Amino acid sequence: MDEIMPLGQNLTIGEVIPMRDVVRISVEVADGLRRSMSRNGIQQLADFVNGMAFAGILLQKNYRPEDGPVSFVDTFRKNVSSYTKMMLRPEYDESRREMMVHRIGVADMSPTEMLVTAGLSMQETISTIAEEYGLSAQDVMELVTIVIALAIAASTPEEKLDIVVSGMSEGITEKTKVWDQLIPSDDEMLGEDDEDY
């Protein structure tokens, strides 16, 4: 991921990142996170996708709340189909292969532990990179959606794409409803600006 850092360092405050760069950053983040999660015991693509969706909810609550309300689920439902089709283009062949590389290993975490471990780690990594590039909260919702779209494109035969995208949209909507109720924002956990101290 080091090769993507110089772009962010050249931005001025308030400069908008073009969508093509958000897509490029998203794909490189996806490649790096997939390798990192695999090395840390999260080998299955389904666990990776669940972790990314969990990170989407965490980022929705905690990344640049001053940007105003954003919705991971709304962004996902609106854009996942078009992003999945985009990720089928030849220029993303290598990234699709990276998503599907099977690494041998035994999971020593429960599904819940994998979800939380992946989600928190992904949130931290994405927040750091997003800040480096000056991405808005909405850009980050797009980034998370693109990463999941890449995983869908990598693992789904083209003739089943519409059914899988529809099922994934429903599944993520249902899961995130539950997660959203269980996860406090950083401000809710820590108190806004520690006013009571």
HSE-CB for 176 with a 13 A CA cutoff: 27
Phi then psi for 110, rounded to 5 degrees?
-75, 165
pLDDT band at 190 (very low <50, low <70, confident <90, very high): low
Helices (H) and strands (E) in the chain, counts: 9, 0
* pLDDT tens, position by position, 4-58: 334 444 444 445 568 889 999 999 999 999 998 988 888 888 999 999 999 999 9
**Predicted structure pTM score:** 0.83
Which residue ranges make up each domain of the chain? Answer: 16-180
Confidence of residue 108 (pLDDT cuts 50, 70, 90): confident
Dmax of the chain from CA atoms? 58
The pair of structure tokens assigned to 13 is 């405050």
Q: What was the pLDDT predicted at 102?
A: 63
CA distance 57 to 118: 13
